[in-house]
Each structure stands twice: as structure tokens, then as C-alpha cells.
């Protein structure tokens, strides 16, 4: 059983930003920060299955790919890395690249990496606030400048860089080619509204990502039977004995906690270690303290990822 305020680990990156407000205090050091990782406070706790983080991009990231579970285990790694992004803010010209425009053979992919044409073969698309992008392991992808993203992923830092736009960083061409699904990305299911306060944004065999929008002054019970990570994106709330505001988060596992939305309401991302959405994860609490059953807009339809 656990309820912990998340520690924030700062990760400088060459493509990062010096402007982190309102998600983090002002960056007085002037060093570009690319990622803020949400970590557990308990130093001897078991390693979580998931990693939640915020990304800040001032330059384009490398074109990269992550291994799936089978490829990772064949390399002696514990598991692969599938991820999903939620766009918190986006410049007018912000873009993300997910998958390729057409299928390439390994030989064609190596050639495109060598001559730099892979930058034009990536399927780039405009990104706007509120977008959800699911990136299964094996999908070639990249993130452009001008974005703040929340990312949930399998807890792995295994990244194979295929092309880095002239930066003097190591590439991992052969490893990347060996694990890449070098073609168009899978078509993802749209976000689904489960109730007045719940939207399921992404479903993956390794995690669920939801958005909760709780009205001002409302009180809820969150039943976190799975490893769960919460990140505040608007307003504030009391979560158990914790106070959580924009850019802050918490770790919850095997715990039922009271969530009291602040006077401006409370919106958060909730990610948990499950393969299907948990219908009973949150209930509104009546004024007499009783837990009211959730009122679903409609019965959830199983999510599926289908190839376009």
C-alpha cells in the first residue's frame, strides 16, 4: 500500500527548453531541460513498471525507435518500451512524426539513415493541445520543437537513435533497424468518454492513460488497485494528505484515497499498470460520506490498435 508525492528528477537534454513554467519552477540555471521524471520517494521501493514524465522541446528530437518485449529480452534487457504522449501545449507549427510514409526494407532503411532522407520519410503531422499519440514499441518516431508533452511509458530507457540532425551523439543504426517496424504507424483508437469526469486517452497492453476532470469542490474516492501515477494539469486537489497542483504528481498503489478538488476544479492525467480500463477506479462521494456509483455515459468498448 502506498501514497507518495512524486519526486521530480530533472533531465537536461540538448533539445530541451529553458522555459518550464507553469509546469515547473523557473529554470534559473539556464540549462536546457528536456524531461522531468516522476519518481517514487521511497529509495528502497521496488522499481515501478511505468515511468511518467513531462517533455519540453525547443529543438527537434532524434529520429528513434524502441524495442518491444521480445527483442529487448533477446538483448538481455528486462522489457521493451511502448509509450503514449498527451500534448499539454503546442506552438502553431509544432509537429510530431510517428511511423514512416511507406514500408521500407532493412536495406532501404539503412540507406535512408545514411543519406539523411529518413527525415523526409517520417510521417510528420501537426500537433495541437489535447492530442493523444500512442507509440507502440518498434514504431519509428520523432518529436518536433515547440511542444510540452506528458509521456507514459514502460519503464525502460532503451532508445536506438537512427538520425540525430547533425548532433554529435552516438547512433544505434543496426540495433534500431533490427527492432523497427519500418512502415506506417498503427491507427489508434480515439479517446473515449466514460463519464462526465473520465476520458480514456490511450490503451496499451502495458498501461492505461486517462484524463480526469473533477468539478470544483467535489470529493471522490480513487481506488488504485494497480500501480498508478497521477499528474496535475489544471487546478489543484487534496489527495489523501497530499496537496497537488499543476506539474506535481503522486504515486498510488493498493490504496483507496480521498480526492478533494479545489475551488477551480482539478484536471489530471492518471496512468496505471493494466491492459484494460478499470471501470471502478473512481467514485464520487456524497455529502453524507457515502460512495456513489459511477455514472457512465455508455458502456466502454474494448480498444484496439489496427494497422492502416
Q: Which residues are catalytic?
A: 161
Q: Which residues pair with 87 in a beta bridge?
A: 149
Residue 267 backbone dihedrals phi, psi, to 5 degrees: -120, 135
**Residue 200 belongs to what H/E stretch?**
strand 198-204
DSSP string, 201-260: EEEETTEEEEEEEEPTT-EEEEEE-S-EEEEEEEEEEEETTEEE-TT-EEEEESEEEEEE
H-helix segments, 105-185: 106-115, 118-121, 173-179
Distances in whole angstroms, Cα of residue 107 to Cα of each of 62, 101, 112, 119, 174: 20, 16, 9, 16, 11
DSSP string, 249-292: EEEEESEEEEEEEEEEEEEEEEEES-SS--TTSEEEBPTTSPBP
As a whole number of angstroms, the distance between CA 148 and CA 129 comes to: 9
As a whole number of angstroms, the distance between CA 207 and CA 47 comes to: 16
Distances in whole angstroms, Cα of residue 122 to Cα of each of 119, 146, 235: 6, 18, 37
Amino acid at each position: 500500500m502506498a501514497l507518495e508525492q512524486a519526486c521530480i528528477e530533472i533531465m537536461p537534454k540538448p533539445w530541451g527548453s529553458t522555459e518550464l513554467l507553469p509546469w515547473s519552477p523557473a529554470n534559473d540555471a539556464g540549462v536546457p531541460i528536456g524531461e522531468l521524471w516522476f519518481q517514487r520517494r521511497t529509495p528502497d521501493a521496488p522499481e515501478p513498471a511505468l515511468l511518467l514524465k513531462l517533455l519540453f522541446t525547443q529543438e527537434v528530437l532524434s529520429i528513434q525507435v524502441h524495442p518491444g518485449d521480445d527483442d529487448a529480452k533477446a538483448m538481455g534487457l528486462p522489457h521493451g518500451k511502448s509509450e503514449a504522449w498527451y500534448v499539454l501545449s503546442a506552438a502553431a507549427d509544432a509537429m510530431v512524426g510517428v511511423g514512416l510514409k511507406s514500408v521500407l526494407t532493412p536495406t532501404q532503411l539503412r540507406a535512408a539513415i545514411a543519406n539523411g532522407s529518413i527525415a523526409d520519410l517520417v510521417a510528420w503531422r501537426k500537433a495541437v493541445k489535447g492530442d493523444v499519440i500512442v507509440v507502440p514499441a518498434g514504431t519509428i518516431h520523432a518529436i518536433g520543437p515547440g511542444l510540452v508533452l506528458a509521456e507514459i511509458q514502460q519503464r525502460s530507457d532503451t532508445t536506438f537513435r537512427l538520425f540525430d540532425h547533425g548532433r554529435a551523439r552516438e547512433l544505434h543504426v543496426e540495433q534500431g533497424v533490427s527492432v523497427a517496424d519500418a512502415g506506417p504507424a498503427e491507427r489508434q483508437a480515439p479517446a473515449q468518454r466514460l463519464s462526465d469526469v473520465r476520458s480514456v486517452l490511450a490503451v496499451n497492453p502495458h498501461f492505461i492513460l486517462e484524463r480526469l476532470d473533477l468539478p470544483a469542490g467535489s470529493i471522490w474516492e480513487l481506488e488504485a488497485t494497480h500501480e498508478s501515477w497521477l499528474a496535475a494539469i489544471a487546478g489543484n486537489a487534496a489527495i489523501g494528505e497530499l496537496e497537488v497542483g499543476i506539474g506535481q504528481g503522486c504515486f498510488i498503489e493498493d490504496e483507496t484515497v480521498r480526492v478533494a478538488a479545489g475551488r477551480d476544479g482539478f484536471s489530471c492525467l492518471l496512468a496505471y499498470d493494466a491492459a484494460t480500463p478499470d471501470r471502478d477506479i473512481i467514485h464520487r462521494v456524497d455529502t453524507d460520506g457515502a460512495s456513489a456509483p459511477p455514472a457512465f455515459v455508455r458502456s466502454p468498448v474494448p480498444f484496439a490498435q489496427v494497422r492502416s
